[in-house]
Amino acid sequence: MIELVDQALEDRVRKDLTYLPPEFPVTFQPPGRDGGHGEVVGAETVGIYLYDIREDLDRKQTGTVYIYGPARGGEPGQQKKLEQHDPPRYVRLSYLVSAWAPDALIAHRMLGELLVGFARSRELKVPLPPELEQMHLQALLDVGHPPAEDRALTELWSAVGHTLVPALNVTVTVPLLSYLPDRYDHWVTKPLEIGDENVEITGGGGDR
C-alpha cells in the first residue's frame, strides 16, 4: 500500500514540474545519503522522504458498516443487505519533500511549484481495494501542516545528519482494508411456514 502512495506522490511531482527534463531524478532515500539528493547528483532533484507512519486516531470509528445491493436471483431493483464489516481504519503517512538544485533560487522555485500543486487538490489518486472504493473513500493529502506531535523540522534534519534546508511537510491519509467482511449468501424471502406434520408435541402427563 505504501508503495502506491509513493508512486502517486511521484506522479504529482512530475506533473507539477513540467519545465524540468522529463526524467529528472526523484528519490525516496533519506537526505544526506550517498547518491541520494541533488547535492550529490548535481542536477535538479526532488526528495520524498517518508519519516513517520501512524494510525489517524481522529478518524477511528466504532459500529458496523452495512453494504446493500441487488441480490443474486432477486427481483430487479430490490436492494438486499450483502455484507457487513467494521469501519475502516486510517493510516497517516508523513513525508519530507525537498528540492535540490545547483542554484538555490532554482530549488526555491521548485518548492514553490510543488507547494501550489499539492495545495490545489486534497485528493491523491491512490488505487484502493474495491471494498474501499465502493464506499467512496480516497486518499487525502495535506501540505504545510506542522509535523506530528509538534516535532520540529530541525529535529528531522538533525536526525538524518543534514543541515537545515527548506522543505514541505506532506501528510497523506489512507483508508486501510483492515477487516474481513461477513457476506450474506441467502435471504429470507417469505414468512416461515411449519406444517402440522413437522410439529412435535412434548410434555403432558399420563401414559400413552
Q: Is the pLDDT of residue 110 over 80?
A: yes
Domain region containing 69: 2-183
- The string of pLDDT tens digits covering residues 129-138 is 887 877 788 9
29 within some domain: yes
d(CA 8, CA 126): 6
26 within some domain: yes
176 within some domain: yes
Rg (CA), the chain: 27
Backbone φ, ψ for residue 58 (5° rounding): -65, -25
Query: What is the structure's pLDDT at 56?
Result: 83
Query: What is the structure's pLDDT at 35?
Result: 45
Q: Are strands 65-70 and 123-124 parallel, antiparallel or unpaired?
A: unpaired
Report the predicted TM-score, pTM, of the whole model to 2 decimal places.
0.71
35 within some domain: yes
Q: How far does CA 1 lie from the centroid of its chain?
A: 8
204 within some domain: no
In the chain, how many domains are there? Answer: 1
- The string of pLDDT tens digits covering residues 169-208 is 999 999 987 665 555 555 455 665 655 555 555 655 555 4
148 within some domain: yes
208 within some domain: no
114 contacts 13 by C-beta, under 8 angstroms: yes
Q: Is the pLDDT of residue 98 over 70?
A: yes
What are the strands, taking DSSP E only, across 76-130? 79-85, 89-100, 123-124
19 within some domain: yes
